[in-house]
Amino acid sequence: MNKNILVTGGAGFIGSHAIRYLVNQYPDYKIINLDKLTYAGNLENLTDIEGYSNYEFVKGDIYDAPFLNELFDNYAFDGIIHLAAESHVDRSITDPNEFIKTNVVGTVNLLNVAKSHWQDDYKGKLFYHVSTDEVYGSLGEEGYFTEETPYDPKSPYSASKASSDHMVRAYYNTYGLPVIVSNCSNNYGPNQFPEKLIPLFINNIKNNRELPVYGKGENIRDWLYVEDHAKAIDLIYHHGRLGETYNIGGDNEWKNIDLIRKLCEIMDRKLDRKPGTSAKLIKFVKDRAGHDMRYAIDCSKLKNELGWKQEVSFEEGLEKTVDWYLDNQEWLNHVLTGEYEEYYRKQYLER
């Protein structure tokens, strides 16, 4: 194998797509997937590649520094693509502490272990930190987040990610650790845990459950198909410049309520329901605390410098996503366990 790459959080939504892309693209790399398998981590996301000789799974927690040390003693990692995180804003509002443990302390643990194991020779090494556009805060009607936009995180989730981004850059600046950071907009696609807007609403429509739209549904997000993010990660890992930040986005802004109505139309068609049936499930509920109004990414740096572009249109991506959830009821059944019902009850039924 000519490279050992550690991917953290590879059993999650984006991590599993990134790993699938990498193991297929680079048969001569060994991809090691380190994941704690929290409620969001699911090895069923990777059943198609689990037997590959260039793929290996290790269960572990990035909060556990001695464990990380041992892992790095056992493998000579050339690079790290760090995705492991607590990732849902609503959960961060209810319980911020896990976000600090994994997103902040876990990231610092990884930086420390990379620094101590690589310090004799940084050449060819890379710590690539995958982050979110939410660190930039919230936009008004105009403008876009660029790589120069000052950080202004508003939720415990985005504050924890901002903190980890700062630590990654501090290790570059202070110790010369070779790092790159990318900040991406909202992803959607197969394998996303049904707590996030799109898979939650697909599942609710299917089960004739209410669709809880926060506030007036006027908040805007910029949606990117997850495989386009996976390709950007590959490109940035191999061709990004050290110490740099790259914004990744969909150039695809949608007001929540418009997106939800579109999803309802697609679901009516797929489920052979009379047009307008699913939209009747829409229910405006109490707004999310501190709800960011608008995210929109300027990803021209990534496009101009590395030649990346979005390949999957929103129309095509939504169709593929809906089809995947309708065809994978067993996957859903396995994640809609007791923990999920408990979360759902607290988040939506007892608010």
Catalytic residues: 133-134, 157
Binding piece for ligand TYD, criterion CB under 6 A, among 69-77, 121-129, 192-200, 303-311:
192-200
- Which one among 33, 103, 186, 187 touches ligand TYD, defined by CB under 6 A? 186
- Binding of residue 130 to ligand NAD (CB under 6 A): yes
Q: What CA–CA distance (Å, rounded) separates 112 from 179?
A: 13
Which listed option, ligand TYD, ligand NAD, none, makes contact with residue 61 (CB within 5 to 8 Å by class)? Answer: ligand NAD
Q: Contacts with ligand TYD in 238-257 (CB under 6 A)?
A: 256
Cβ-based nearer residue to ligand TYD, 103 or 256? 256
Q: What CA–CA distance (Å, rounded) separates 219 from 294?
A: 6
Cβ-based nearer residue to ligand TYD, 73 or 341? 341
Which listed option, ligand NAD, ligand TYD, none, makes contact with residue 219 (CB within 5 to 8 Å by class)? Answer: ligand TYD
- How near is the Cβ of 2 to ligand TYD at its closest, in Å? 37
Say how many Å lie between the first and final Cα of the chain, rounded.
52
- How near is the Cβ of 145 to ligand NAD at its closest, in Å? 12
Torsion of CA 143, 144, 150, 155, to 10 degrees: 100
Which tokens hold the place of 241? Answer: 């410049």
Please state the φ and ψ torsions of residue 80, each to the nearest 5 degrees.
-130, 130
For tokens 């090691």, what's the residue?
A: 32
Reference 193, options 29, 337, 18, 25; nearest CA is: 337
DSSP symbol at 240: P
Q: What CA–CA distance (Å, rounded) separates 348 from 351?
A: 6
- Binding of residue 250 to ligand NAD (CB under 6 A): no
- Binding of residue 228 to ligand NAD (CB under 6 A): no
8 Å CB contact between 227 and 282: no
Q: Contacts with ligand TYD in 202-221 (CB under 6 A)?
A: 212-214, 219, 221
Cβ-based nearer residue to ligand TYD, 115 or 291? 291
Task: Please give the residue ranges that form the binding site for ligand TYD (CB under 6 A).
Answer: 89, 186, 196-197, 200, 212-214, 219, 221, 256, 288
